[in-house]
Structure 1
Amino acid sequence: MVHASEVFKAAGGNRHTSAADWESDVLAYGCGNNIATWNPTDPSSNGVQQLLTGHTDVVNVVKLLRKPNSQRAVLISGSADKTVRIWYGDADSPSAFSRSIALDGHQASINTISILPGCDVFVTGSADATLKAWRIDTTAYDNALNGGAQIDQSSSQSLIKVELIQSISLKPRFFPLATAFARLGDGPLVLAVAGTAAYVQIYVQRPEGFVLEATLTGHEGWIRSLEFARESSAADSDLLLSSASQDKYIRLWRFNKGAELPAASAAANDPSLGVLGRSLSNKAHYIGDGESKHSITFEALLIGHEDWIYTARWSTGSDPSKTPRLLSASADNSLAIWERDEDSGFWNCVTRLGEISAQKGSTTATGSTGGFWNGLWSPDGVTVTSLGRTGSWRVWQYQPQSDIWEQRVGISGHVREAKDIAWAADGSYLLSTGSDQTTRLWAECQQGDSSSWHEISRPQIHGYDLNCIDTLGTNQFISGADEKLLRVFNKPKMVANLLNKLTAFKDESSADLPDAANIPVLGLSNKAIGTIDTDQEAAQAAFNGQTGDKDALDPASTISKSALDLDHVPYEDHLARHTLWPEHEKLYGHGYEISAVAASHDGALVATACRASSIDHAVIRLYETAGWREVRPPLTAHSLTVTSLAFSPDDAYLLSTGRDRQWALFARDEAAPASTMYKPLTANPKGHARMILDCAWAPTGNVFATAGRDKTVKIWHLDGGHATCKATLPTTVSATAVAFYPLSPPATLLVAYGLEDGRIAVATINTNTVGEDFTVGDTYALDADIVPVQTVNALRWRPNTAELAVASDDHAVRIYRFEDVPTARNVVAPTKGN
């Protein structure tokens, strides 16, 4: 029986300040409707380990909690679907979680969750302007697991008890964006709340519930982040609260036990100190009573960021006796690490990571412009990560020998729907494109005896949503977007060299390729640029700074060789700035958004189509690649949008499918010059009962498949210019993608098909029949835990390898490896020339 395993998955992080958390060796973050888990310190850099599915809308908040005296972690997530979900960790695999229970109660999107180690209470905050306090009891669940019981989804919901203990309506009304939990010594819990207001509310737990006891003012913008930390490991140490705001400042607040103010606060209020004492208001607030009475005073104002501050996180590192450090992430593209000077007591920025303003990404739509939405500490305090606008995670690790923070390999992925994928002709890399307006190149990198997949290049950073893509050989691709034209790109020498270094594929055809590319300041197209060596760099620096040498190179059209000479997987700043592909050609002619593109296997032609509501625009245009001229007249057959195009393996036929429920076949006109002309051969106006969404040719060249909204995949046999349906695979929902893989014996085919709900299945088809229908053999459905949860948009088999790439609406790109597949036929599959 065929068996599939997931070898790679990539998904970008959601742009929400609370959508990620790091505990032990697990970093969990929201990616679309899913939650991804990843280990940033994994030396093998294997990327995303698991995608948790269950939410039906964007995940806004993720919190991880390691239960005391337990190897199992608890993950609590909140989503725009108004629900909170609790996921319980597996003791045997700390990074593996399973859904246990879903909580309803809020009337709007969940934006914040607060938990506290060793406490059975957690608080959720929603855009319905309410907070809800819950109590969770997992004792029965823990006991059952420790006893070796096998627990399924239904029994876990009965074993884990969660009750709502209080609902708080925020007054004055505002939407909570950040909450923080702590305990006042050995006394009650204290809850800090902030959001779409310029103040922090402090609630204290009383017998009747949480009660508002103080309001901290001073900020001048919305407050995005709150977090408590103990000043030291001493039992009587003060609490510190950080509040990060859109006013570009971080404020620190001190919670001191007792009625007497701390020494620093008392000195600041001393009138004899003059303006120093009056420059910042330091009004003391008192909360609690008796042994739990505390004063709240303003501790420090941290100034240094130039834009909104999204998060501020504490870390005690490996020495809890020291004052914790603070990590802040800002929209100014930087992370800052703040420490308190033990002699003066002043808080200083000791390290700044990220990008300087003069070296932002390629455009404001992508690059990292838009800042860092999240900054996280590793539990040991020696590694930090940040999430940028592109959905990519950056990693820095502290090196004590050199006293610097060195960047490490992170992970990346699309932040909106992945619409299409295409393999290079030799299978050396995979291209994906999507609604986040980027095209990304993924490759399998060799690391000794092991390998892992990474984003190696970001060839296209666009201003329109991208819909379709195909490759021409190994050094060129074409993509179509909502801008009504298609663009052709050439591989730069920098990317070719990087693939030669990092992958098992070696390509010696890069001598004539351009060095690199960039997007001019006022331009819209990727422009080829050259590299300069060290001597030229010095001349350029002199030209920019001192001399008037007009022969010096334009910095906008050149780049340093050292910036491109990488021997490791590119970091995010390289991907966003140095791995673009230069644009070779634009193809005009269509009147609406491009919907489909396909390149012939000999590389001589590309076929394109656009969205259409009439026969005038529902045409297929052909372009010859020698001079990139349109082959006229365009092909006509459809009356509505053409959804998919595919050339037969020998390029003798062009197959098209459309929203008008029909498929059409065009045959190459051998009498035409260079055989670039195609003419109508046959069509089936009633190929499916509803629109047809995808098509694919079998390697045999006379069999093709169509997938439709009518919940069927149909296998057709072409004989003598007439195609007959020889097999029908029924599905429970719309079939949206289909792809063939050759098997042995030659008469057997493996067809993979994807569905609207994300499920993927493969079936064997026996075509060794004469005048009879094909026989459908075993059908294998991929495990529900590894398939997408939203529409499958494209399926592509890796050339000559039983690996299947998938692009889906859940933002993810996945690659599956199939085992126990009968040996592929010993033939050379058609490859696309350049």
Structure 2
Amino acid sequence: MVAPVLETAHVFCCPNRVRGALSWSPGPGGLLAFGTSCSVVLYDPQKRIVITNLNGHTARVNCVQWICKQDGSPSTELVSGGSDNHVIHWELENNQLLKAVHLQGHVAPVYSVCAAYQERASDVTLQTLIVSAASDSIVLIWSKKASEVPVLACGDDDCRIQLFVQQDGQFRNVLFLRGHEDWIRGVEWTIFGRDLLLASCSQDCLIRIWRLCIKSTSLETQEDDIIRLKENTFTVESKSIKIEFAVTLETVLAGHENWVNAVHWQPSFYKDGVLQHPMRLLSASMDKTMILWAPDEESGVWLEQKEWTPEIVISGHFDGVQDLMWDPEGEFIITVGTDQTTRLFAPWKRKDQSQVTWHEIARPQIHGYDLKCLAMINRFQFVSGADEKVLRVFSAPRNFVENFCAITGQSLNHILCNQDGDLPEGAAVPALGLSNKAVFQGDITQPSDEDELLTSTGFEYHQLAFQPSVLTEPPTEDHLLQNTLWPEVQKVYGHGYEIFCVACSNSKTLLASACKAAKKEHAAIILWNTTSWKQVQNLVFHSLTVTQMAFSPNDKFLLAVSRDRTWSLWKRQDTALPEQEPIFTLFAFTNQVTAVHSRIIWSCDWSPDGKHFFTGSRDRKVVVWGECDSNNEFMEHSIGPCSSVLDVGGSVTAVSVCPVLDPSQRYIVAVGLECGKICLYSWKKTNQIPEINDWTQCVETSQSQSHTLAIKKLCWKNCNGKNEQNESESAEWLYFASCGEDHTVKIYKVNRCAL
């Protein structure tokens, strides 16, 4: 069996923030399907890993539903709807995509889908029936063959529920169910014996359960003094037979304090005429709570079930991920995104299992501006840049370090001995503030009952005091929001516009930063001392925004690329006195005459030996630059292309060079495209002019492995760091991480022996 060249090792993402974006397949081993940006993700909650991505939508996925079988066996089909106006029917085999069918008919975003199997008496087969609703105010019914729909329920924004039945090939409205006092947010049917139960939820904070049954079996009494439920009736004619149905209000459930956004019945099936699961209803609300309802066995009154505790699940950004970095030891990844958060992902190493899964274990920064870039200053300190024009520096608190060691299996004593000074316990954000304030041991107080109250609107997170905790497994969402912030240790001012990119020297003594710019004066690169955080120098050359920067491996050079389609190379000039800061001077550059790229240069990176640097541009080109003397030193003003121009077939948004060479001693280059695909190439300098056969394509991501929107950053793991599985595997596998506008972060493993 041939070993794969490229595998997706871990995926970090979360469901889109829309009401119907998640569905759980019933039965043993059922998978969670949820929409993340334009993709449908299949997640195994038992193994805590992403099984695959279903990529087909071109805009946000708004709704997903598994098509469940009545016998409770695992589902192999699901349906999704998106803002691209499409409904997609997915067929799976062994949890991998077998077939995808696009259903086109809506002219506006699809926000609701419902699907079911219908048994056909004529041939005893199951036919797939799909119903979709969109903001074009149209409900569409999809079926492979002609089907009969007994009843269709639609919740409206006029507070009513409409019931439709199909007769003579047409759907007609047979009944309006009134009772809710605000928009209907969700409806769902379930079978109960010979009857149907319909649960509806609304912005009036209430849930109503309706019973539909054949009129002859409905509750009747001959005694006039007995209170009877009001029945709404309608008649269906089928093959010269008239059947009268009755709908009654079964109960009203009041327990939520804000809009009820969704209701779902517990999946159930009948075996030998016996219901295999108890009847239970789950509701979710804008009050940030879920309630599990069930009827009391004796009285029949619907009651709330006992409290449940949250499990460890997948998490990630809910908007575009703009930048990522591995820590110097290769033990965790830190990311920033336009969801205004900084997140830290690390491996969970359980003593009782050999499998290692990665999880979000900290949310060091929750900001008020979109975050765009970050750089690691040391293993437990980073700087981030956002749209607020300010750089902010954060350091890990003691409580995080302790929990990090417990979760990942690190030595606490070894890490703490490398930390300077007395670490704070944690951090908290004051009301109406943006800065994470350090909390020391003496500042910690026990929370009062008032601290637990929600805000009056229920839409914002109420600020709570930091409380230290001891963790041996990844934290839950409420803990991530409250107790994993890092104290802010420095604000750095100097730029006039939104911060766009940052880079730290390999010695961790200098930080370079740049902001958005439309003029040369604002496009200057600022150098900072990472100890005093004072400005060292302004580097003025580019006329538009500097998009990315990188220090050479020996820190002698700083490379910058820009929207103005040029790059600049700055050389470090050491000063005579050790206490004086080094000075960088412009060493080489491209202009309109010498430039190769004809569009924005989005990305750059150095070869691990420092002999060459790579640039990638919107013009689809990747170019290698450099001319060195016998001492591997760049020759002033003589730097030019030393490779053939690689056309990758799409706009290049990210480039990263592996820190080790492939088995044939060629550089391994990961190239990220605007379409979301990642391509791996190898390159080796030839002595031929022009260069021939210097590029070799190794592998590219498959459709399920790719991102669905633009790649924002690629970063290889430091090969000197520890391997997440075992040391013997480290020589065979290389790891790199990617992040993109599709809200996801992925870790890939590359089999270097198969390149």
Name the TM tier (shorter chain). Answer: 0.7 to 0.9
Match of 2:676 among 755, 758, 761: 758
Query: Which residue of structure 2 lines up, in the alignment, with residue 362 of structure 1?
Result: none
Structure 2 counterparts to residues 42-53 of structure 1, below 5 A: 42=46, 44-46=47-49, 48-53=50-55
Distance 1:781 1:542, change over 3 A: closer
Cα offset, 1:821, TM superposition? 4.2
1:559-638 counterparts in 2 under 5 A? Answer: 559-561=466-468, 564-632=469-537, 634-638=538-542
Q: Distance in 1 between matches of 2:358 and 2:218?
A: 56
Name the structure 2 match of 1:240. 197
**Equivalent position amino acid for 1:57 in 2:** A
Question: In the alignment, which of 372, 384, 394 is matched to residue 479 of structure 1?
Answer: 384
Moved more, 617-626 or 114-123: 114-123
Q: Secondary structure at the match of 1:212?
A: strand
Aligned position for 2:433: 523
Quote the residue 2:80 is aligned against. Answer: 77
Aligned pairs for 1:656-671 (under 5 A) are 656-671=560-575
The answer on 1:454 being equivalent to 2:371 is no
Q: What is the CA RMSD across the aligned residues, in angstroms?
A: 2.9
Q: Is 1:441 aligned to residue 389 of structure 2?
A: no
Structure-1 separation of matches of 2:81 and 2:7: 29
Q: Which amino acid aligns with 1:627?
A: S
8 Å CA contact 1:35–1:52 kept in 2: the answer is yes
Instruction: Tell me the distance in 1 between the aligned counterparts of 2:677 and 2:391.
Output: 31
Aligned equivalents of 1:72, 1:316: Cα separation in 2: 12
Matched AA of 2:378: G
Aligned residue for 2:610, secondary structure, equals coil
Cα distance in structure 1, aligned partners of 2:449 and 2:371: 41
Q: Does the 8 Å contact 1:460/1:581 carry over to 2?
A: yes
Match of 1:720 among 635, 640, 657: 635
1:249 matches 2:206? yes
- Give the aligned partner of residue 795 of structure 1: 714
**SS of residue in 1 equivalent to 2:748:** strand
Question: Structure 1 749/208 Cα, relative in aligned 2: closer, same or farther at 3 Å?
Answer: closer
- The alpha-carbon distance between structure 1 residues 263 and 315, as it changes in their structure 2 partners (threshold 3 A), is farther
Q: Is 1:681–2:587 an aligned residue pair?
A: yes
Q: Which residue of 1 aligns with 2:22?
A: 20
Partners of 2:663 and 2:92 lie apart in 1 by 45
CA contact (8 A) 2:158 2:182 kept: yes
Contact kept? 1:736, 1:754, Cα under 8 Å: yes
Residue in 2 that maps onto 1:654: 558
Q: Whole-Å Cα distance in 2 between the matches of residues 517 and 476 of structure 1?
A: 14
Q: 1:723 to 1:315 in 2, by over 3 A?
A: same
The range that moved more, 677-686 or 414-423, is 677-686
Distance 1:733 1:590, change over 3 A: same
Q: 1:772 to 1:89 in 2, by over 3 A?
A: closer
Mapped to 1, the partners of 2:213 and 2:315 lie a distance apart of 43
State the Cα distance separating 1:343 from its structure 2 match: 2.8
Displacement after TM superposition at 1:193 (Å): 0.4
* 1:109 aligned partner: 109
Match of 2:61? 59
Are the equivalent residues in 1 in contact too, given 2:662–2:752 (CA < 8 A)? no
1:38 to 29, 36, 43: 43
1:819 is the counterpart of 2:728: no
Shift of 1:241: 0.7
Q: CA deviation at 1:641?
A: 0.5
Check conservation: 1:530, 1:557, Cα contact below 8 A.
no
C-alpha distance in 1 between matches for 2:207 and 2:91: 34
Q: TM-score, normalised by structure 1?
A: 0.78
CA spacing shift, 1:753–1:2, aligned 2, 3 Å:
farther
Distance 1:39 1:439, change over 3 A: same
1:422 equivalent in alignment to 2:425: no
TM-superposed CA distance for 1:606, in Å, is: 0.7
Alpha-carbon separation, structure 2, partners of 1:776 and 1:500: 44
Quickly say closer, same or farther: Cα 1:516–1:65, change in 2 above 3 A.
Answer: same
Whether the 8 Å contact between 1:199 and 1:217 is mirrored in structure 2 is: yes
Answer whether contact 2:428 2:466 (CA < 8 A) is retained. no
SS of corresponding position for 2:152: strand
Query: What does residue 216 of structure 1 align with?
Result: 177
Residue 690 (structure 1) aligned with residue 690 (structure 2): no
1:285 maps to 2:233: yes
Amino acid at match of 1:579: T
Equivalent AA in structure 1 for residue 279 of structure 2:
P
The equivalent position to 1:130 in structure 2, one of 110, 135, 138, is 138
Q: 1:710 aligns with which of 614, 619, 632?
A: 619
Structure 1 residue 198, shift from structure 2 partner: 0.5
Secondary structure of 1:502's counterpart equals helix
- The runs of 5 or more residues in structure 1 that have no matched partner are 138-162, 166-186, 353-404, 546-554, 824-834
Name the SS of the counterpart of 2:303 in structure 1. strand
- Matching of residue 464 in structure 1 with residue 369 in structure 2: yes
5 Å-filtered alignment, 1:177-192, equals 189-192=150-153
Of residues 774-783 and 495-504 in structure 1, the stretch that sits farther from structure 2 once superposed is 774-783
Contact 1:229 1:324 in 2 (8 A): no
In the alignment, is the contact (CA less than 8 A) between 2:467 and 2:483 conserved in 1? no
The amino acid that maps onto 1:650 is N
Percentage of pairs with the same residue: 33
In 2, distance between residues paired with 1:773 and 1:671? Answer: 40
Out of 333, 337, 347, which is 2:302 matched to?
Answer: 347
Alignment of 1:300-379 (within 5 A): 300-315=251-266, 320=275, 324-351=279-306
Does structure 2 retain, via aligned residues, the 8 Å contact 1:258–1:291? no
Closer/same/farther in 2, CA of residues 112 and 630 from structure 1, 3 Å limit:
same
Work out the CA distance in 2 between the residues paired with 1:602 and 1:744: 26
Measure, in 1, the Cα distance between the counterparts of 2:117 and 2:503: 55
CA distance in 2, matches of 1:822, 1:560: 49
**Aligned to 2:309, what secondary structure does the other structure show?**
strand
Q: How big is the shift at 1:505?
A: 4.3
Cα deviation digits, residues 373-396 of structure 1 (max 9, x gap): xxxxxxxxxxxxxxxxxxxxxxxx
Q: Check conservation: 1:5, 1:816, Cα contact below 8 A.
A: yes
Q: Distance in 2 between matches of 1:655 and 1:35?
A: 38
The count of residues paired between Structure 1 and Structure 2 equals: 690
1:37–1:50 CA contact under 8 A, matched in 2: yes
